[in-house]
């Protein structure tokens, strides 16, 4: 049985290692970047009216001393989020006439990017869930498909400075999109408070008062991933599940889902999507208004250039898409007994798209202090109490000697 001294030493060792973990981190993800944003860059007035808000393509430069990450939030076709790592002097060029005609090579960089990763919101599903499981099934007769390319997007917000970029769009008054880009490492302001870095951008989608078509309706979303990695046998996206150290930032949710490109999974130099498996059923996001998410395994997309012909991915790569890693997965919302979508007519999904590897969660200083008090104080009382008892016994023995 370990002694009190061993327990005391063990506690401080654990506390020490946790403190080291708090102070150390992946330097590449801690880079501070200077942000700049342009709406519909160099778009002619006959395509983009100066005061219009219907056409939205936002290009963000995130510059560091060594390189630049380009984010493109494109809502001209199927919503697409591009993350491209380039050298500092690279610029984005758009031939707007060809781009609006969905022609390949209409969007290019002035030099070949070091790496690109795109996430496309390909389809949204409303489905009937008679078994009350929250999982999208294969029964096509109980599924209604929304094509985001057919939505009418109304930009309601675009705000930016050198630290943050925020945009918001309304699609058909049913689906709300909020996007953020960041200059430093921190947690998001809204639940689920995802940990972001300057190498990632966040997307928040709200399914708000959507007209239902089934008796027990739920929603799901299909995401397609495109990376500048050649498609060969064994180059698959991987889903990993991490347990966070605490639920300080997302109460009740200790798990983090990472969807990693082959490069990110094998070499830590690829693209990723990250989210917590939680959806909120009310604008006031909290534990009491949360439900679960379920994801399918990533699968390769056949004839990718046809599947993505109305996207930014096709505008950049064209037929070359058929040679790249292009895979997709579904995420559905809800769990047994939560009342289906019709209980509140509100569902959310928040995820991040980034380069490198997802940032690891770490114990905050507040948690370390609470842990130190909660564990250290009782141990200290135990040690000093034992010392006091031993001292009294020794004194009593001396007093009874003749």
User: Per-residue pLDDT tens for 152-165?
Assistant: 999 999 999 999 99
List the beta bridge partners of residue 37.
60
* pLDDT-wise least confident of 2-16, 71-85, 337-351: 2-16
Q: Could you tell me which residues are beta bridge partners of residue 273?
A: 259, 353
| 161 found inside a domain | yes
**Same domain membership, residue 298 and residue 179:** yes
Do residues 186 and 207 share a domain?
A: yes
Domain assignment present for residue 241? The answer is: yes
Cα(189)–Cα(402) distance, integer angstroms = 74
In a domain, 6, yes or no: no
Question: CA 231, CA 287: separation in Å to the nearest integer?
Answer: 41
Q: In sequence order, what DSSP letters do the residues of 100-160 get, joined into one string? A: HTT-TTSEEESS--SEEEEEEEEEEEEEE-TT------S-GGGEEEE-GGG--EEEEEEEE
- Tell me: do 180 and 312 sit in the same domain: yes
Whether residue 196 has pLDDT greater than 70: yes
Query: pTM of the full predicted structure?
Result: 0.85
In this structure, the answer to whether residues 289 and 369 fall within a common structural domain is no
| 8 A C-beta contact, residue 350 and residue 228 | no
Domain check: are 318 and 267 in the same one? yes
**Token duo for residue 308:** 């993505």
Is residue 340 left, alpha or beta, with left meaning phi > 0 and alpha meaning psi from -120 to 50? left
Instruction: Decide: 252 and 246 in contact? Cβ < 8 Å.
Output: no
Could you tell me if 309 and 378 lie in one domain? no
- Residue 99 belongs to some domain of the structure: yes
Q: Which residues contact 148 (CB under 8 A, 6 or more apart)?
A: 78, 79, 121, 122, 123, 124, 171, 175
Same domain membership, residue 233 and residue 215: yes
Q: Which residues contact 363 (CB under 8 A, 6 or more apart)?
A: 18, 21, 22, 245, 246, 371
Please measure the distance between the N-terminal and C-terminal CA atoms of the chain and give it in whole angstroms. 37
Q: What share of the chain is helix, strand, coil (3-state, %, to 5)?
A: 25, 40, 40
Say whether both 120 and 146 belong to one domain: yes
Confirm whether 16 is domain-assigned: no
Give the least confident one: 177-181, 234-238, 349-353, 366-370: 366-370
Task: Say if residue 317 is in the same domain as residue 371.
Answer: no
Instruction: Name the pLDDT band for 113 (thresholds 50, 70, 90).
Output: very high
- Please tell me whether residues 306 and 381 are part of one structural domain: no
Q: How many other β-carbons are positioned within 10 Å of the β-carbon of residue 384?
A: 10
Average pLDDT rounded to a whole number, residues 76-80 = 96
Check whether residue 264 and residue 379 sit in a common domain.
no
User: Is 5 part of a structural domain of the chain?
Assistant: no
**Mean pLDDT for all residues in the chain:** 87
Q: Is residue 12 part of a domain?
A: no
- Look at residue 120 and tell me whether its pLDDT is greater than 50: yes
Q: Are 325 and 229 in contact (CB under 8 A)?
A: yes
Are 343 and 374 in a shared domain? Answer: no
Q: How many domains does the chain have?
A: 2
Domain that holds residue 381: 365-397
Domain presence at residue 19: no
Q: How long a stretch of residues is the chain?
A: 402
DSSP SS3 for 2? coil
**Alpha-carbon distances of 105 from 79, 96, 97, 110, 225, rounded to whole Å:** 18, 11, 12, 12, 19
């Amino acid at each position: 049985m370990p002694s009190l001294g061993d327990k005391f030493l063990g506690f401080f060792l654990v506390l020490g290692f946790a403190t080291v973990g708090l102070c150390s981190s992946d330097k590449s993800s801690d880079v501070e970047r200077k942000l700049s944003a342009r709406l519909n860059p160099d778009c002619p007035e006959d395509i983009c009216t100066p005061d219009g808000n219907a056409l939205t393509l936002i290009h963000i430069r995130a510059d560091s001393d060594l390189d630049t990450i380009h984010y493109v939030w494109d809502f001209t076709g199927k919503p697409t989020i591009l993350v491209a790592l380039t050298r500092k002097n690279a610029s984005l060029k758009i031939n707007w006439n060809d781009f609006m005609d969905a022609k390949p090579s209409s969007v290019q960089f002035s030099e070949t990017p070091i790496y690109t990763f795109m996430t496309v919101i390909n389809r949204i599903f409303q489905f009937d869930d008679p078994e009350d499981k929250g999982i999208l099934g294969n029964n096509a007769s109980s599924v209604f498909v929304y094509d985001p390319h057919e939505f009418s997007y109304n930009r309601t917000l675009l705000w930016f400075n050198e630290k943050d970029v925020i945009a918001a769009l309304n699609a058909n008054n049913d689906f709300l999109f909020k996007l953020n880009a960041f200059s430093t490492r921190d947690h998001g302001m809204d639940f689920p408070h995802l940990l972001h870095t300057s190498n990632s951008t966040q997307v928040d989608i709200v399914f708000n008062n959507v007209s239902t078509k089934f008796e027990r309706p739920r929603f799901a979303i299909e995401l397609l991933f495109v990376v500048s990695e050649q498609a060969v046998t064994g180059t698959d996206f991987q889903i990993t599940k991490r347990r966070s150290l605490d639920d300080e930032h997302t109460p009740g949710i200790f798990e983090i889902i990472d969807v990693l490109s082959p490069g990110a999974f094998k070499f830590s130099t690829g693209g990723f999507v990250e989210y917590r498996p939680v959806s909120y059923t009310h604008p006031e996001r909290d534990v009491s208004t949360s439900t679960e998410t379920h994801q399918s395994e990533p699968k390769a997309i056949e004839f990718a250039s046809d599947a993505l012909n109305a996207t930014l991915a096709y505008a950049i790569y064209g037929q070359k898409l058929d040679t790249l890693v292009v895979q997709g997965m579904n995420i559905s919302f809800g769990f047994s007994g939560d009342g289906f979508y019709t209980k509140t007519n509100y569902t959310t999904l928040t995820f991040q798209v980034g380069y490198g590897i997802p940032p690891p969660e770490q114990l905050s200083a507040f948690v370390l202090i609470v842990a130190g008090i909660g564990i250290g104080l009782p141990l200290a009382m135990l040690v000093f109490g034992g010392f006091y008892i031993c001292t009294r016994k020794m004194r009593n023995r001396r007093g009874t000697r003749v």
